[in-house]
Structure 1
Amino acid sequence: MKKLMVSLTALALSVFSAHAVSNTTIVHPEPRAGSALDLYAIELIEFLAEKSGEPVTLQAFDGQIGSQSRKVEMLKQGKLTIDWLGADRTLESELIPIRYPVFRGLLGHRLFITNQATEPQLAQISSAGDLQSLTMIQGQGWADVKVLNSAGFRVREISSFENIFKVVDTGRADLFPRALIEPFSELAERPQYGNLLVDPHLMLIYRFPMFLFVSPQHADVADMLNGAFEAAYQDGSFIEFFNNAPLVKETFEKANIGERTVIRVDNPHLSNETQAIPDTYWLDIEAQ
C-alpha cells in the first residue's frame, strides 16, 4: 500500500510539473501612454489565450524598446514574443503574421491630428493631390510610410512617438495620420499640446490591416493564436468582442464618419496572402 501511495504521489507531481512547464509566457511591449489601441490589443491577446484553453501568462517587457524597427529586431531575436503592427510584405516575411485583421481593417481608415494653423486648409481639400502640399509625419519604420509615399505624400519619419506630437504642435509638420481608433484617446492623454486637434473634415482610406505578429522563435504561440482566432470567428465571439470594445464604441461616437470627405489611395505593399483575406474579416465602414 505504501508503494502504491508513493507511486500515486510521484504521478501527481509528474502531472503537476508537466502542467507547470506547459504554461506559456507571452512577452509583449508596454502600452504607450494614452494608447487605447495598445490596451485593446493586449485584451485581445488575453481573449485569444482564454479561447485557446491553454495556460498562458502575459508579461509586459521590462525595459525600453524605442522605435518600431527596434521592436522588430527584438521579435526576431525572441526577446519579445508578440507585437501588434501594421502589415506589409517585409514584416510578413520576417515575422509570423496572424492573418486576422485585429481591427477588421480600421487601421487603414485615417484621421489627421493637426494644429490650429493647418486645420482651416483641410476644409478646402477634396483629393489626394490636394494633400500632397502638406507634410505628414510618422514613426520610424512604420509600414504606413511606404503606403503614404506611394500615394505621393510628403512624409517625415521620427523615432520618438512622443516627439511626433511636439513636432505637429509647433507647426514643424502639418499632419499626423492616425487610425480611426487612435487620435481621440491620444490627445485626451496629452492636454499640454493645446495647439493640437483632430481634424473634423477628412478621412484617408487604404487597405491596411493590423496583425498580431509573433516571433519566429515562438511558433507554438502563433499556432495557438491562429487556432483561437479561427474558433472565435466560427462561434461569433470575436465579432462580439470587437463590437463591445469601449475603444470601438467610442470611436464611432466621436468620428462623425458620415460628415467627412473620404479620400482613397491604394496600398501596393501588401502580400498576396493578405490581399486574399476574405471580405468576411474586414469591416464595411459604409455599413456602420
Structure 2
Amino acid sequence: MGNLLRSCLYSLLVTFSVTSVAAVDIIHPVPRDGSDLDKYAIDLISFLAKKSGQEVNVKPYDRPVDSQSRKVQLIKEGKMTVDWLGADKKVESQLVPIRYPIFRGLLGHRIFITNKTTEAKLGAVQTKAELEKFSMIQGEGWADVGVLKAGGFRVKEVPSFENIFKIVDAGRADLFPRAVIEPYSELAGRPQYKNLLVDDKLMLVYRFPMFLFVSPTAANKPVVDILNAGFEKAYQDGSFIEFFEKSPLVVKTFEQAKLKQRKVFNIPNPNLSEKTRSIPDKYWLKL
C-alpha cells in the first residue's frame, strides 16, 4: 500500500509540474510591412511573458488581416489571442483590455503623413479651424475615427491599410494622422510612394492609450493573467520604463519627430471609458 501511495503521489506531482510549466500559445496579428510599432508590441508581449515567469509560444496568425474590425472579430472568436489597439469604449466592451498604456500615451500625439502639395499649405496653418479644412483618412474601425470626428475633422475610413498610402500619395486625401511613433518607419518601408512625406510643423494631441487586448474566451484567461502580472512586475522593478526608453522605436521617434518645434492643437477624447480615464499619472509619459 505504501508503494502504491508513493506511486500515486509521484504521478500527481508529475502531472501538476507539466501542467504548471506547459507553454501557453499567444497568437498575434501578422505585423504590417515597415511597422516598427508592431515589432515593439510583439517584443513587449515576449518581455511581459518572461517577467511573469510563464513559458509562452508567441506566434503570428496564419495570414495577414488588414481590417481592424475583422481582427477584433477573430479575437472575439478566439482564433487570435491578442492585438495592440487604441482604446475606446467599444473595443473595451468586446475584448479584455490589459490596462497599461504600452506607449505611455504617445499614441495620442498625432503628426501627419501627407503629400507634397498639401505640405506646402500646412506652414500657413495657425488655428484649428484652418486645420479642419484639410481632409483626413484612417483605417476602418480605428478608435481614432470617433475622436477626430468629435474634434470637428472630416475623416474618411478605408479597410485596407496599404490603400491609405496610395490615396494620400495620389492627393485624394490630405492628411493621414499617425502617432509620432509610427510614420517614419512606415514611409521608410514604402519608397514607391514618391509624393509622401511626414509634416514637421503641426501636431494634434489627445489622451489616447494603446492597450494589449486579449480574447475574452475562457481559454485565454491565462494570457490575461500573464500580461497583467508581467506589467505589474515590470513596473515594480523599473524594467518596463527601461524597455520603453531603450526601444529603438522610441529613441528614433524623439530624434525624428522634433516635438518641441511643432504647433500643437489639443482636442478632447470623448470615447474613453471611466476606467481608462482613471489610470494613474505614473503610467503616462510627461513630455
TM-score w.r.t. structure 2 length?
0.94
- Contact 1:25 1:57 (C-alpha < 8 Å) held by counterparts: yes
Q: What's 1:249 paired with?
A: 251
Corresponding letter in the other structure for 2:82: I
Corresponding letter in the other structure for 2:262: R
The alignment status of 1:134 with 2:129, answered yes or no, reads no
- Contact 1:111 1:180 (C-alpha < 8 Å) held by counterparts: yes
Q: Which of 231, 234, 239 is the matching residue for 2:236?
A: 234
4+ runs deviating over 2 angstroms: 6-20
Corresponding letter in the other structure for 1:34: G
Corresponding letter in the other structure for 1:283: L
Q: What's 1:181 paired with?
A: 181
Corresponding letter in the other structure for 2:55: P
Please list, as runs of the form range in 1=range in 2, the aligned pairs for 1:268-279 lying within 5 A after superposition.
268-279=270-281
- How many pairs are equivalent? 281
C-alpha displacement of 1:228: 1.3
SS at match of 2:279: coil
Query: 1:17-51 deviations in whole A, cap 9, x for unaligned?
Result: 4356x320000001100000000000000000000
C-alpha displacement of 1:130: 1.1
C-alpha displacement of 1:55: 1.2
**2 CA distance for matches of 1:65 and 1:197?**
26
**2 CA distance for matches of 1:38 and 1:223?**
22
Q: What's 1:61 paired with?
A: 61
Please list, as runs of the form range in 1=range in 2, the aligned pairs for 1:68-87 lying within 5 A after superposition.
68-87=68-87
- Contact 2:88 2:273 (C-alpha < 8 Å) held by counterparts: yes
- Contact 1:128 1:265 (C-alpha < 8 Å) held by counterparts: no
C-alpha displacement of 1:224: 1.7
Q: Which of 275, 281, 284 is the matching residue for 1:282?
A: 284
C-alpha displacement of 1:72: 0.5
SS at match of 1:43: helix
Query: 1:81-116 deviations in whole A, cap 9, x for unaligned?
Result: 000000000111111001100000000000100000
Query: 1:204-223 deviations in whole A, cap 9, x for unaligned?
Result: 10000000000001122112
**1 CA distance for matches of 2:284 and 2:11?**
51
C-alpha displacement of 1:127: 2.3
- Contact 2:68 2:139 (C-alpha < 8 Å) held by counterparts: yes
Please list, as runs of the form range in 1=range in 2, the aligned pairs for 1:184-223 lying within 5 A after superposition.
184-217=184-217, 218-223=220-225
**1 CA distance for matches of 2:89 and 2:53?**
31
- Contact 1:126 1:263 (C-alpha < 8 Å) held by counterparts: no
Q: What's 1:18 paired with?
A: 19
- State the Cα RMSD in Å: 1.6
Please list, as runs of the form range in 1=range in 2, the aligned pairs for 1:104-183 lying within 5 A after superposition.
104-183=104-183
**2 CA distance for matches of 1:66 and 1:275?**
29
Corresponding letter in the other structure for 1:264: N
**2 CA distance for matches of 1:16 and 1:100?**
31
Which runs of no fewer than 5 residues in structure 1 stay unpaired? none
- Contact 2:29 2:64 (C-alpha < 8 Å) held by counterparts: no
SS at match of 1:117: helix
- Contact 1:87 1:209 (C-alpha < 8 Å) held by counterparts: yes
SS at match of 2:117: coil
**1 CA distance for matches of 2:104 and 2:18?**
39
**1 CA distance for matches of 2:12 and 2:222?**
26
Corresponding letter in the other structure for 1:172: R
**2 CA distance for matches of 1:92 and 1:118?**
35
**2 CA distance for matches of 1:185 and 1:66?**
18
SS at match of 1:229: helix
Corresponding letter in the other structure for 2:135: T
Q: 1:246 to 1:64 in 2, by over 3 A?
A: closer
Could you tell me the percent identity over the aligned residues?
A: 59
